[in-house]
Structure formats: structure tokens, C-alpha cells
Chain A
Amino acid sequence: MAILVDKTSKIVIQGITGREASMVTKHALLYGTNIVAGITPGKEGQKIEGVPVYDTVKRACKDHEINTAVIYVPPAFAYDAVMESIGNDIPLVIIITERIPQQDAIRFLFAARTANCTVIGPNSVGVITPENRVKIGAIGGDNPERCFVPGTVGVISRSGGMTAECAWMVKRAGFGVSTCVSIGGDALIGSPPMKILEMFEKDTKTKAVVMWGEPGTSYEEDVAGFTKEGGFTKPLIAYIGGRFVERMPEGTIFGHAASIIERGVGKPSSKMAALKDAGCYVADSFTDIITYVRKAMES
């Protein structure tokens, strides 16, 4: 088992004819991912790496069974693309596109919630389940095995790049990953860490979780509260990046759009304290993740 994506995933890529999307399609197919269709309006009949291109999600759904959509279209068209997937009853939509206007995100996230559709992102680098060789988005690039080997540790990350680096730490500790989820660096995303943690709790394969946190939002505090209340019972190893931001003038953004301390909310020190208080392993240096993963997996 895994979360979000596994061997049953049948994937459509919206915006498949774009430069980045076609490269990612090639890498994902080589890995073994089941990409059944691509969408680019006006380009039906073309093939990208052998994957048929359709004008609409509706037409793709007529020819294929689809349960996962990946959004690669430019920011100005992302709203329509997400709504199209939701409108065609696709239960999981993973949004890679960066710099989507906040209002558009609010609108499609609201629609998704009403339709019971799970959204990952916007601004996610993807999701990977090594055991089933399914990868969505650029995650792992052309060499997924470098960081992502099959195992039983889940990874949740607010940073796309650090999703890979966290999995690499797990590998260095001598273990592998069940599913790794880049949740997206924006302030308004479909699935905050707590929601992913709920999925990992139910997943029998996952024995522990590594989480990369950042300044801004209350995501890590929510995770701490959830863990403390018994919502998550497996070992959780957390690292919070960007501690220096606390010493910078408040309201300044470093890194991701969501990484902003405002009105005293979002301080790494408070997040670390809350997680510690909830009984999580909080890594002081990033390298400590290795020690904690070993400790957690041995217990």
C-alpha cells in the first residue's frame, strides 16, 4: 500500500505538449508510471512519447479510465484546467504550476472541496511511490533511484527540492520511502501536512514520517495538535528550515510564498516547540534526521 498514487493510478497530464511537461512525461514513463492521456486544446491527434493527446478531459475520459490529473498548464490557464478535471469527476488533481493567482486557487480549492476531490499543490514538484514505480511531476528527475528507494518511511515536504533531499536522508539512514509528497510552497494549497499525515496514519505500509517544515502558516502547529490528540500515532521526524527568518524584519518573505512570519504567527521556534511538546522527533540539524530515522525505525 501507499498513499495518493500507486499501481492503480491512471494518469492524465494537462498541458502535456509543453516543454517541461513532455520531458517529465518521458521520465515518468521510463520509470514505469501509467500515463494514459495528455490534454492540450487544439492538439488532439498528436502523441507525446507515445501518449495520445486530446482536446478535452471529457474526450480523454471516454477512451480511458482516468483517476489522477496532473496540471502543467501556465498560470493564466490553470484555473480552467483544474476546474475541467474536477468537472470530469477526477478524484485526485496534482498541480505543478507555480505563480497561480491566489484568487484562482481559492476558487478551485473551494470547488474541489465541494466535489470531494483531493488536490495536491499548487506549486508541487510531485508525488512518488517507489514500490509501484509511480511518479508524478518532476520529482526524482531522470534518476529517481538516487533519492527514492522503496521502503516504509513517508515524506511530507513544503519544499519540492527538499522532498528529494529528505528521501535521500532516509536512504542514507539505511531505509526507503513509502510515498513522498511535495505539498506545494504556496500559502493556499489543497492538502496541508495534517491531511497527508492522516493518510499516512491509515497506510499500513508506512511506519514513520519525515516532515520538512518552513516559516509561515500554522501547518506545523496543526500537525503538533493533531499528533498530541492521538490523530497520528507513528513516529514523526520533523525539521523546520528558515530559523534565521525569525531574526529578520517581520513580514519579509524568504523562499516560498507561504514562508512569511506575520503578526507573530509562523515562527520556526514556536513550530519546533509545539512539535517537541507533541512528542515528535525535532531535528536540530538537518543531518540529525538520519539519527532519528534509525531511532524511530528501531523502536
Chain B
Amino acid sequence: MARVLENVGKEVLKKNGIPIPESAVASSAEEARKAAEKIGCPIVIKALVTVGKRGKTGAVRFAENPDEAGRIAEEILSMTVRNFPVDRVLVEKKLDIRQELYVSITYNSREICPVVIASSAGGMDIEEIAKSHPAKVIKYPVYLAEGVHPYEVRAIWSDLGLRGGVLLNATEITKRIFDLFLKYDCTIIEINPLAVTSNEEVVAAAVLMGVDDDALYRQPYFKNKVEVGSDRAWRPLSALEKEMIEVDKMEAYRGTARYVEIDGGNIGFFCGGGGGSLLSYDALIRFGGKPANYTEFGGNPPEAKVRGLVKGVLSKHGVKGFFMNMNITNNTQTDIVAKGIIGAFKDLNINPQKFPAVVRLAGVHDAMARRLCEAIGLEYHGDDITMEDTARIMVSKMEKAYPEEEY
């Protein structure tokens, strides 16, 4: 999933006929002040970061006049919200809210269908609403991905107690949100609050939106507007993470790889298989190892891709060892992987006889993989050991090479 910034999400809503508060994006105090003047106070200033629950971090605040808006914008612009530095704010008209509703659409992996969650007690986290007001939350699975009927949405809001014009407006808007969820290949849309104003208008006051990375090829609207892979980090992607996404794009459908940087650590982690990497990481930690990153690859990548990825893994600051562990492969050619690793070692001038490193590469063409690794003195294992054994070997190599470091 790629997370969408609130201003982009709101553009999408507006394009699709969903009322949103008047707003402007500002990247300085002065811009925020001018925007507040133009829109009219009172005003809301929100950090533009792809982080949920911003309100709790002080990244959503109100101002009564343009000067105050400028001051607050300046403060928010100097903040880092859950590791994301704020470089822009959304300056938005403060609504005259009579009631706060909640609506979201996501896919449910158990029901295999989109689910509409609606509540007449918006404004808080849905988990909190569900706990404190269970009767005010409705979860409605939509079994036909063809869409939802207006009568179904009307029944949801009616059961939640909406009446009159508000019922009709909320129904119309929810239906539109559902349609655009499908149209834009979203994976989540959460409107919280969906505000009912004093003149019975229903307005999307805040939006959280995620789009399907795997559908971006058919969603030109989001080109250059969302960051691919943003769900794989809890902070902005590092320069190296961005580089690795580019490496992964080489022959996009041949071998997929994902790279995440871990704080600290000293073991370069390059493992294979979605599940195999999970096991490898758990095992390294269990034996006292400290991974510096997490790379998972699979699906038979070409040599150049492996070479680029391994170079990335080894170039992270503080990496003093190399750990390559993988399940016995079904289709990944282990000799190609070995060639990529050896190429990267050569490129970086690393001598595997002096640098703690271990490789477990069993599977397709592994006799060749063994020959290649052993020729340069890289410790190689096939199915003579288990994946947990590899982790044990790696940690003991690190302990031996760097006895002064704490383990």
C-alpha cells in the first residue's frame, strides 16, 4: 500500500463530488498566514505527513486569526511527527460541526470483500469508538465488488440514527466514497470525522487514504503523488531504501526484493523468501545477532539485481558482516544469486576470508553455487545445515571477529 497525503486525498474526494473544507497547502509561516486570511478564520492547521492519529501528537491545531495561524504553522513546520519531519501544512477552514460521524472502507481478508465501517460517534479512533460505543458502530461487508446499493448505505446510516436531510446527504457521500475506493484502487479510505455542519451539510473533514502499489500502473492520477513502499517504513524512506526500490525495478517481474533499514546493528541481512527471511531474522536475534537491515528477495532475480541489492546491504553504515540465508529454493537459481553476491563483494573490495560472512544457498543449481562461493573463500552451506544453524554460525563469527563488541 502507498500512503496518500491528506491534500492529495482531498483532491481525489473533491474531484468525485465529495464536499471538503476549503483549504490550501503552505510551506512557511507567511504562506500559512496568507492562506488563513484568504480562507477566513477560525482555521485548522495540520501537518502534511502520512501518519495516522496526528491529532494526538499536536500536529493538528486551531487558530483564531491569520497571525496566530502563521505562528502555529511555524511551530508545526519545525516538528517531527512520529519520525516524519513536517515540511508542509494544510491550512483548512474550521467547520461549524454539529455532529461527527465516521466512515471507512477497507478490504477484509476473512470475508474477502470490501467492508464499510460507519459510526455516529466519529472524531476518535475507531478502536476507541468500538470499545466505548459498540452500539454506534456498524460493520457492513459488501459481497459484490460491483459496488454498493444506495439503499444499503441508507440502511447503515438510518440504523445509526441519522434522519432527514443528513441521512440523505450521508448516504450520497458514502456511496460516492465507495465508488471512488474501487475506481482509484484504494486499499483504505477513512473519513474521520465525516462532519455534519450546522446547516446539515455532510463534509469530509479529514481523510486517510492508501492506494494499492500493485495497481499503480493503471492509476495515472497518483503518478508522482504517492511514494511506493511507504508501508514498509515507520519513517521517511532513507536514501538507501529509495535506491533499493530503484534496484528492484530492474526487470520488475523477475525477482522481487524489499529492503528496510534497521536502527543500529552490524550484520548485513540479505535473505531469501518472504517466510525464510522472517525465520532468519528471528533466529539471528535469538542467538544474539544484531541485524543492520532487512532484505528479502525471491522469485529468481537476475544477477545484476542481486549484485545491486547486496551492495546496498553492505554499504549501510556500521555493517561489519554479511548474512545470506534462504529456504531450499523452488525456482530461484542459486548459482545466479551466488554470482551476484560475489560480484558485490568484488565491487566493494571485500575479502570474504577476512569479513565475517556466511551463505546458505540450497536448491536449483546449488552444486555450482557451492563451487563459486568456495572459490573465493566465502563460507557456503547447502542443505547440510538448517536455516537456524546458519544464524548460529553467523553470530559466532561476529563474536569471534569483534570480541570487543557487546553481545
Chain A interface (Cβ within 8 Å of chain B)?
20, 23-24, 74-76, 98-104, 106-107, 109-110, 113, 125-126, 137-143, 146-147, 157-165, 168-169, 185, 187-189, 192, 212, 214-215, 217-218, 222, 241-245, 248-249, 251-256, 258-260, 263-264, 285-287
The answer to whether A252 and B232 touch (CB under 8 A), given A74-B253, A147-B328, A287-B386, is: yes
When the two chains form their complex, are residues A255 and B278 in contact, meaning their CB atoms are under 8 A apart?
A: yes
Residue of B234, B281, B329 near A249 (CB, 8 A) is B234
**B187 proximity list for chain A (CB < 8 A):** 102
Nearest CB in chain B to that of A135: its residue: B330
Residue of B215, B282, B362 near A242 (CB, 8 A) is B282
**B315 proximity list for chain A (CB < 8 A):** none
Q: Give bound CA distance, A163 to B276, whole Å.
A: 10
When the two chains form their complex, are residues B388 and A255 in contact, meaning their CB atoms are under 8 A apart?
A: no
**A106 proximity list for chain B (CB < 8 A):** 107, 112-114, 145
Q: Give bound CA distance, A255 to B127, whole Å.
A: 26
Q: Is B279 an interface residue (CB 8 A)?
A: yes
Q: Which of B254-296 contact A (CB under 8 A)?
A: 256, 258, 260, 272-279, 281-283, 285-286, 294, 296
Q: Give bound CA distance, A245 to B383, whole Å.
A: 27
- Size bin of chain B's contact surface: 35 or more
Q: Is B331 an interface residue (CB 8 A)?
A: yes
The answer to whether A103 and B112 touch (CB under 8 A), given A160-B330, A244-B285, A255-B296, is: no
When the two chains form their complex, are residues A252 and B231 in contact, meaning their CB atoms are under 8 A apart?
A: yes
- Considering the complex of A and B, which 8 residue pairs feature the smallest CB-CB distances, nearest first? A159-B275, A161-B273, A249-B234, A242-B278, A138-B331, A161-B327, A101-B215, A241-B278
Q: Is B185 an interface residue (CB 8 A)?
A: yes
The answer to whether A286 and B294 touch (CB under 8 A), given A142-B364, A168-B328, A248-B234, is: no
**B294 proximity list for chain A (CB < 8 A):** 254
Residue of A141, A158, A243, A252 near B364 (CB, 8 A) is A141
Shortest CB-to-CB span from B28 to chain A, Å, is 30
When the two chains form their complex, are residues A255 and B331 in contact, meaning their CB atoms are under 8 A apart?
A: no
When the two chains form their complex, are residues B231 and A162 in contact, meaning their CB atoms are under 8 A apart?
A: no
Nearest CB in chain A to that of B130: its residue: A263
Residue of B107, B234, B274, B363 near A185 (CB, 8 A) is B274
When the two chains form their complex, are residues A286 and B327 in contact, meaning their CB atoms are under 8 A apart?
A: no
Contact sample, A vs B, 22 pairs, CB 8 Å cutoff: A101-B215, A103-B212, A103-B215, A106-B107, A113-B112, A141-B330, A159-B274, A160-B274, A160-B298, A161-B276, A164-B330, A165-B275, A165-B387, A168-B328, A241-B278, A242-B281, A244-B281, A253-B258, A256-B274, A256-B275, A285-B388, A286-B283
Among B144, B274, B294, the one with the most A-chain Cβ atoms within 10 Å of its Cβ is B274
When the two chains form their complex, are residues A286 and B274 in contact, meaning their CB atoms are under 8 A apart?
A: no
Q: Is B151 an interface residue (CB 8 A)?
A: no
Total A-B contacts with CB atoms under 8 angstroms apart? 183
Nearest CB in chain A to that of B276: its residue: A161
Among A189, A218, A251, the one with the most B-chain Cβ atoms within 10 Å of its Cβ is A251
Shortest CB-to-CB span from A122 to chain B, Å, is 10
When the two chains form their complex, are residues B114 and A162 in contact, meaning their CB atoms are under 8 A apart?
A: no
The answer to whether A254 and B331 touch (CB under 8 A), given A98-B256, A110-B144, A244-B285, is: no
Q: Give bound CA distance, A20 to B215, whole Å.
A: 22
Produce 1/0 per residue, B91-112, CB < 8 A to A.
0000000000000000101101
**A212 proximity list for chain B (CB < 8 A):** 275
**A103 proximity list for chain B (CB < 8 A):** 145, 182, 185, 212, 215
When the two chains form their complex, are residues B144 and A255 in contact, meaning their CB atoms are under 8 A apart?
A: no
Nearest CB in chain A to that of B186: its residue: A103
When the two chains form their complex, are residues B282 and A244 in contact, meaning their CB atoms are under 8 A apart?
A: yes
**B140 proximity list for chain A (CB < 8 A):** none
Shortest CB-to-CB span from B374 to chain A, Å, is 20
Besides A75-B253, A102-B107, A285-B286, 4 new A-B residue pairs in contact (Cβ under 8 A), listed by A number: A103-B182, A161-B329, A241-B282, A286-B283
Produce 1/0 per residue, B290-317, CB < 8 A to A.
0000101011100000000000000000
Q: Which of B312-354 contact A (CB under 8 A)?
A: 326-331
Q: Give bound CA distance, A260 to B15, whole Å.
A: 31
The answer to whether A162 and B212 touch (CB under 8 A), given A141-B364, A252-B232, A253-B232, is: no
Q: Is B155 an interface residue (CB 8 A)?
A: no
When the two chains form their complex, are residues B274 and A161 in contact, meaning their CB atoms are under 8 A apart?
A: yes
The answer to whether A75 and B296 touch (CB under 8 A), given A138-B330, A165-B328, A287-B388, is: no
Nearest CB in chain B to that of A221: its residue: B110
**B113 proximity list for chain A (CB < 8 A):** 106, 110
Q: Give bound CA distance, A244 to B214, whole Å.
A: 26
When the two chains form their complex, are residues A252 and B234 in contact, meaning their CB atoms are under 8 A apart?
A: yes
Shortest CB-to-CB span from A203 to chain B, Å, is 23
Nearest CB in chain B to that of A263: its residue: B127
Q: Is B233 an interface residue (CB 8 A)?
A: yes
Nearest CB in chain A to that of B3: its residue: A251
When the two chains form their complex, are residues B326 and A286 in contact, meaning their CB atoms are under 8 A apart?
A: no
Shortest CB-to-CB span from B317 to chain A, Å, is 20
**B127 proximity list for chain A (CB < 8 A):** 263-264
Q: Give bound CA distance, A14 to B68, whole Å.
A: 63
Residue of A102, A187, A188 near B215 (CB, 8 A) is A102
**A143 proximity list for chain B (CB < 8 A):** 364
Q: Is B218 an interface residue (CB 8 A)?
A: yes
**B282 proximity list for chain A (CB < 8 A):** 241-244
**B285 proximity list for chain A (CB < 8 A):** 244
**A185 proximity list for chain B (CB < 8 A):** 274-275
When the two chains form their complex, are residues A214 and B278 in contact, meaning their CB atoms are under 8 A apart?
A: yes
Shortest CB-to-CB span from A288 to chain B, Å, is 10
Residue of A101, A139, A189 near B330 (CB, 8 A) is A139
When the two chains form their complex, are residues B275 and A217 in contact, meaning their CB atoms are under 8 A apart?
A: no
Q: Is B402 an interface residue (CB 8 A)?
A: no
When the two chains form their complex, are residues B234 and A161 in contact, meaning their CB atoms are under 8 A apart?
A: no
Shortest CB-to-CB span from A81 to chain B, Å, is 15
Nearest CB in chain A to that of B281: its residue: A244
Q: Give bound CA distance, A137 to B299, whole Å.
A: 12
When the two chains form their complex, are residues A102 and B218 in contact, meaning their CB atoms are under 8 A apart?
A: no
Nearest CB in chain B to that of A102: its residue: B212
